[in-house]
Amino acid sequence: MIKKSGLFIFLIALLKAFLFAEDISTTTIVTSTAPAVVTSTSPKQQSIVTSTPVVNESDLQDEVEGNIVPGTNRMKSPLTKDPVLQEKIDQINKEIESMAGETEEQGVAIEKVTVDDAGNRLLVLIQTSQPIEIFVFERNDPPSLFVQFMSTRVVASEPPIQMVGIDPLAEIRYGYSNFYDATSTEYEKGKKVPIDYIELRLNRAIFYHVQQEGWVMVLGLDRTTTKVSVPELDFRFDTAKYVGAAGLPENPKTDDFVQVALANSRLLAVARDEVDLAKFRVWEARRSLLPALTARVSATRGEEVNPFPDEGFSGFEATSFKRDEYGIQVTQPIWQSGRLWGAFRQSKLNRLMAMENHRKQAQDLAFEVKKSLYTVQKNQTALRVRGELVAQGEVLKDMVSNKYKLELTSKAEVLNVTAQADQAAYQLTGDEQDVTLARLVLLSLLNQGDSVPDPVPGELAHTRMSFNVESIITWAKDHRPDVRIARLNAELALFNAKAAKADAKFKIDASGFYGRAGATFVEDESDYELREAWNMGIRASRTFWGNTLRGNYTKENTAPDLGQSFLTKSQQKSLELGILDALPGKANSRQAELQYERAKAELIEASRKAEFEVRETFYNLEKAGRQLDAIREDMIFRRKDLEITQEKVKLGLAELSQLMTAETAYAQTRISEQDALAAYNIALAEMDRVAGAEVVRK
């Protein structure tokens, strides 16, 4: 009886799913990126949750109901509802519910699991005898989907593993409660035993969605896309340590925002550390001009070894010995053709470049903070003005609707006012987005732990200023950080070229050692004494035609060595010729010359760029000022026009749509004024940046 009732339930549910799909109101969809719990409901009440990738709700519902022609976006004609058929459906539902009660003692049965090839998707349909709650999750290795049954006893009679072999589904596995139940399904056909889950073993990781319609669960496997696993990075650090300690005061001004950003910027802190490092490099280069001192201590212990075979000289007696030495080693470059002095000058130039780079980053950060602050203030005012317009639009919509009900206006008038009000509401959403994004940019630049006031205090101001652009250009060419960096870089390249040429010129180095040394055998240790030992030498070299000529002169005073009882004084002269060993030096010298030429060209380009940006900013400032004057004149006109239109509406000489148009025009003019104010203030801030100094304040 249970088997017949289950088959009947399956046939009835399948008939409902294909013939009366239009009765389904919504569908449950589960994302493929996180586990999800799906609760079975009646066929007339379900909910929708967006899946990954994003699926349009209406399109998915139409596709489920069969209302979309495959491969197109055209809708099929929906099936019409018949009262007689609807009554039949209600009767079938009652019969299903009554027959389902017969299987409550045994549990909810999995009647059938089928696979349907639906083109771009592979559908896995799981038919149960009663509604159940499921939990769907995925595993990456190997790629699988698990349908976990929740809080309800579920039974099945299928073999533990069913091979499918349709991409992307390889096989279906039934997770029975124990091994005996899994094996009993093989030799006892039709026996239903408890099951915990169903595993869909896949060929590859994919996107999926789940929907449940009454007693039928459908898992849609997307065959067009493949999930790409992105490996996690091992690099981690505490981001909280990079939040600055400085905070904004109450009622902050523009300078307060700038100072907080400068104090909290981690990049600016790194630039300051680079300046300190460059200062140490200068000290290091100065140290290379002085003699290099090295303290040296050595102690050697050993014994003689029999050099002959042990068979013939078995009576050889090994003797131990020791050798000690200590002293000071001195090295002093005497003449390097300007190479060491050039390295010292380069270190000083690098320090100046680090300081200019720090100044440039500070000016760029100050400009970005001012720009983002002005943008936030502009968007906040625009949002407030647009909100007032939307509120007025709602009032006018109610008024025109009441007039239409009293047959005092036309339908076209209602549509006109509604369209303008809805357009204002849409633009209000855009203004909210602009405020949120601009605020995020400002918060990122401030990098402070405390929250920033919302809304940001302050409004855009306007002070018309005049500039002598030629004076600003002259100042920028001398004081702008990137121009100064280019000039320092050219000077640095010049010293690099000189140093490369100095490698091929005449060089003299001197070195020496002074200390005490001695050596003795163990049996003579009573007479052991450390005696004076020293040496000095001069080395000269010169490069010509790719070859290097080296000459050495050494004078040495050596303490007695093993078996000796007297000092040794010696002099040594040597001459070496390196054949074609200086060829890389000629290439390096030529490369340094080319780098110097490039640096001079970059200096000229930086100077021209400074003039271009100063003039461009000056004209932007003039355009923003004149645009602001024109907008304010237009705003006076729009305000007067709005007042006239309001009086006309009161007298019945104008329609509400005309009033809505006047309200929109006046609000848009006020927003345009904020745009012009922001452009003018941003141009003022940019003038400081392109000039390389606070010329606006001065």
What are the tens digits of pLDDT across the range 427-445? 999 999 999 999 999 988 8
CATH 1.20.1600.10 fits 386-485+593-691, yes or no: yes
* CA 60 vs CA 64, 224, 491: distances in Å: 6, 16, 68
Torsion of CA 498, 500, 505, 507, to 10 degrees: 100
pLDDT beyond 60 at 152: yes
* DSSP letter assigned to residue 314: T
Average pLDDT across the chain, whole number: 78
Cβ pair 57, 48 in contact under 8 A = yes
SS3 of 197-233: the string is EEEEEECCCCCEEEEEECCEEEEEEECCCCCCCCCCC
Say yes or no to pLDDT of 407 above 80.
yes
Which token pair is 68?
């979309």
The domains of the chain are located at: 2-222, 386-485+593-691
Question: For 665, which DSSP code?
Answer: H
- In whole angstroms, give the CA distance from residue 641 to residue 662: 7
- Reference 548, options 575, 507, 578; nearest CA is 578
Phi-psi bin for 300: left (phi > 0), alpha (psi -120 to 50), beta? beta
For residue 18, give the 3-state DSSP assignment: helix
Of the listed ranges 65-74, 152-161, 379-388, 660-669, the least confidently predicted one is 65-74
For residue 267, how many other CB atoms are within 10 A of its CB?
Answer: 10
Q: Rounded to whole angstroms, how far apart are CA atoms 602 and 474? A: 18
pLDDT number for residue 174: 87
Give the integer Cα–Cα distance in Å for 249 and 257: 9
Express each pLDDT in 544-601 by its tens digit: 887 888 889 888 888 877 777 777 888 888 888 888 877 777 788 888 889 989 999 9
How would you label 627-645 residue by residue, b for 16+ Cβ within 10 Å and e otherwise? bbeebeebbeebeeebeeb
Question: How far, in Å, CA of 388 to CA of 647, rounded?
Answer: 20
Confidence band for 341, pLDDT divided at 50, 70 and 90: confident
- Under DSSP, the state recorded for 39 is E
Lowest pLDDT segment from 99-113, 124-138, 254-268, 635-649? 99-113
Other beta carbons within 10 angstroms of residue 511's beta carbon come to 17
pLDDT over 80 at 50, yes or no: no
Are 102 and 29 contacting, i.e. CB atoms less than 8 angstroms apart? no
By CB atoms closer than 10 A (0-12, 13-18, 19+), residue 649 is: middle
pLDDT band at 34; cut points 50, 70, 90:
very low
The 10s digit of each residue's pLDDT in 173-207 is 888 887 777 777 666 777 788 888 899 999 888 88
Q: Which residue has the tokens 């009440």?
A: 45
Question: Is the per-residue pLDDT at 457 higher than 50?
Answer: yes
